[in-house]
Structure 1
Amino acid sequence: MTSTTINLQLVRRIASWILKYNHLNGITDIEIAELIDNCKSIIEQEPSFIRVKAPVIIFSDIHGNFVDLLEFFRLLVPDLLSLGDPKVKCTLPNLLFLGDYVDRGAQSLEVITFLVCLKTLFPKRITLLHGNHESADINKRCRNSFYNDVVNKRNGNFDIWARFNKLFKHLSLCALVNGCVLCMHGGLPRIKYWNELAQVKKPKKVSDCYNDYDDINTVVNDLLWADPTNNLDPNNGVNSWFNDDRQTSIKYNDLYIREFMNRFPHIKGVVRGHEHVNSGYKLNADRTMCTLFTAPRYDRRTDSGCVMKISSDLKVSFIRLTPPDPPNSSALEDPPTPRIFSPRKRADS
């Protein structure tokens, strides 16, 4: 399907409806299905390993929190909410999303439908990566599941859920910003050669990768499930361990990160999601890896959510939504963090 066959009028109508009413009750299943097919025709043309140019704003782990996602958009990219209206002059940075759009929150369907609208309207500006929750075996059975959200809101019809999961199989797995900042949902993969990232073919059924450890499946599994940890002493020579918490993939420490960046010296920093952080973001000891979590109020009413801004000259800043009491979010932009992605002295330097 080419861009000339995409029904942009329908896409704008669906997105406008969500913005106005905060639900999809006035949109038919047939219209949502057409939207999904429109977006799928775009993302299935994108590689598993995709390149993104700065300036870029990075989001991670939205988990069905539509209200606060919109607040971030209003604060940072208000032009986005014009939905590509040709009468509105629109200037947008690139937007990169690190996955986990669904589950846990109350509006998984609204979040993923709106993001799919944006991807269809701004295909060159919006990049949607694969999270571990963008998998049918996860988003059918987890707490406040995407499956239940769709079935409850679409009168028992699970076809929309199934269609979204077919689309998810075509999402890219990792992104490279300006050739030097590697981004993914989970963690650094166990690769020896850089071109292994580009060898993953789509569509990919990620549940096949959990226990079938050929080289490609290991790469996919790590990109979706791996976690950094401070519990493995980098001085004892151990750099990674089986991830008991996830029951798949690995946990890895700063030694593993240093070895990865020594092996691939063009990589200056890593951005990933996958783990809830009360303050919205967390840096490793070397300040070369950032864990980012965008959904505020995830576990507690006071939890912050955060996005990362990377400027064209690779200066990094964080924008945090910190909910007050009562829970009407207030924005706090943190100052630039000059030492992030400026690693400490390496073994080969």
Structure 2
Amino acid sequence: MPTTPPPIPPSGATPADDMFGSLDASLSSVSEASLQASLIDIQRRAPAPRDPRNDESYDKLIRRLLNFHPTSTADLALKLDEIYFVVDFVRDELMRTNAALVEMKPPVMICGDTHVASNELFHCHQFTIIIDQFPGQYSDLIRLLDYCGWPPDRRYLFLGDYVDRGPFSIETVCLVFLLRLRYPNDFFILRGNHETSMINRVYGFYEENKRRYGSSTGMRLWARFQLAFDCLPIAALVDRRIFCMHGGLSPELQSFDQIRTLVLPFMIPNQCCLVTDLLWSDPFPGIYGYIKSNRGVSYLFGEDVVHKFCKDHGVDLVVRAHQVVQQGYEFFADRKLVTVFSAPNYCGEFNNSAGMIFIAENLKCSILELRPDKRRPSIV
């Protein structure tokens, strides 16, 4: 499955010039406190996972996902017990490492949001890819990874948002989880704001679980996923110089030790806090300091915040996702911050490119801009 990766950046990439109990059927109406209590109860009663399987078994499930060619949204790639196996083992692995802050060495390929609202194929240069929701032609994902390099030949960091806004979120997140299990030193995943129960119960993932696995079983499966999501790391540091997260900076972040010492699992509260900000905040031009976000959660922050943060913490670059940007990447604060968004033609509406950032061993950055084509086969 892995192949020798090509040099970075590939033909067509845009290089940067410089370094930059049970849950009832009316779940949607219950309070967040009641929901979290139900999740805790399910975690206490969840059966212990089976003995670990070897790498060949992981590869078998990965191959099945990558060769999944559904003809309708009712098609299933994995059996229910296989999904439980994946979710339980990734949860246990994340709890074992208990790392809210992932600290890694370059080189690494950084990818932003990876969910889309429709099943679309995109033809980028010499290969066809599905960057994000991975529906339908999973062979296109293989081509992408063959082109950029499979782990362990290429190291990856994904910045969150693996579910919602598409009919095959279960396959997407299971594939991401399996790659994390199979390549623990070369495939890293962070938590996005959609990996929270209050969001993915509204934006599609909860309904997908019920639709595809039945109401009662689907609710329990959805709840099982939340237990794994609560164990996902919140941020990453690349060589102590590049700070990565899904959302943005926080007025409460004074030291990286605040993230290092977070105990997982961590349930995201509704009100502002350090973790909420790291998953939700956004940069905004023309303002000074922090102001309340128009999202209704967390903050917007100005260029001055980025400059001060980088100076105070010895950081050269902040990499985040969370917002659609037309070229797949967008700089802010004199290239001290970059937004990367890896979902091409997001929701079938924006005609945006997908972006990925490659961090070389010397911390030089190359930006890969993958442009969508207008051909959009879909699955009903």
Q: Deviations over 1:113-149 (max 9, x none)?
A: 111111111111111101000011110112xx11122
- The answer on 1:200 being equivalent to 2:246 is no
Q: CA separation in 2, counterparts of 1:2 and 1:268? A: 42
CA shift for structure 1 position 204: 0.3
Q: CA separation in 2, counterparts of 1:295 and 1:313? A: 27
Unaligned runs of 5+ in 1: 82-89, 233-237, 329-349
TM-score under structure 2 length normalisation:
0.74
Larger displacement relative to structure 2 (58-67 or 250-259): 58-67
CA shift for structure 1 position 94: 1.5
CA shift for structure 1 position 38: 1.6
Q: For residues 267 and 179 of structure 1, do their structure 2 counterparts lie closer, same or farther at Cα, with a shift above 3 Å needed?
A: same
Q: CA separation in 2, counterparts of 1:199 and 1:91? A: 28
CA shift for structure 1 position 11: 2.8
In the TM superposition, 1:163-174 aligns within 5 A as 163-174=224-235
Q: Deviations over 1:224-276 (max 9, x none)?
A: 111000131xxxxx311111x22121110100111111211x21000000111
CA shift for structure 1 position 104: 1.0
Q: Match for residue 59 of structure 1? A: 111
Q: Match for residue 293 of structure 1? A: 341
Q: For residues 14 and 278 of structure 1, do their structure 2 counterparts lie closer, same or farther at Cα, with a shift above 3 Å needed?
A: same
Aligned-partner residue type, residue 312 of structure 2:
R
TM-score under structure 1 length normalisation:
0.80
3-state SS of 1:306 partner = strand
Q: Match for residue 351 of structure 2? A: 302
In the TM superposition, 1:83-98 aligns within 5 A as 91-98=152-159
Determine if contact 1:22/1:110 at 8 Å carries over to the other structure. Answer: no
Q: CA separation in 2, counterparts of 1:180 and 1:133? A: 27
In the TM superposition, 1:1-349 aligns within 5 A as 5-6=52-53, 8-22=55-69, 25=76, 27-46=78-97, 47-64=99-116, 67-69=130-132, 71=140, 74-77=143-146, 91-142=152-203, 145-156=204-215, 157-158=217-218, 159-190=220-251, 191-206=253-268, 208=269, 210-211=270-271, 218-232=273-287, 238-243=288-293, 245-264=294-313, 266-299=314-347, 300=349, 302-327=351-376
**Coordinate RMSD, CA, aligned:** 2.4
Q: CA separation in 1, counterparts of 2:255 and 2:358? A: 29
Aligned-partner residue type, residue 104 of structure 1:
R
Determine if contact 2:148/2:154 at 8 Å carries over to the other structure. Answer: no
Q: CA separation in 1, counterparts of 2:149 and 2:214? A: 31
CA shift for structure 1 position 312: 0.7
Aligned-partner residue type, residue 242 of structure 1:
K
3-state SS of 2:355 partner = strand
Q: Deviations over 1:82-104 (max 9, x none)?
A: xxxxxxxx752210010011111
Higher relative contact order (CA 8 A, sep 6+): 2
3-state SS of 1:45 partner = helix
Determine if contact 2:77/2:171 at 8 Å carries over to the other structure. Answer: no
Fraction of identical pairs, as percent: 28
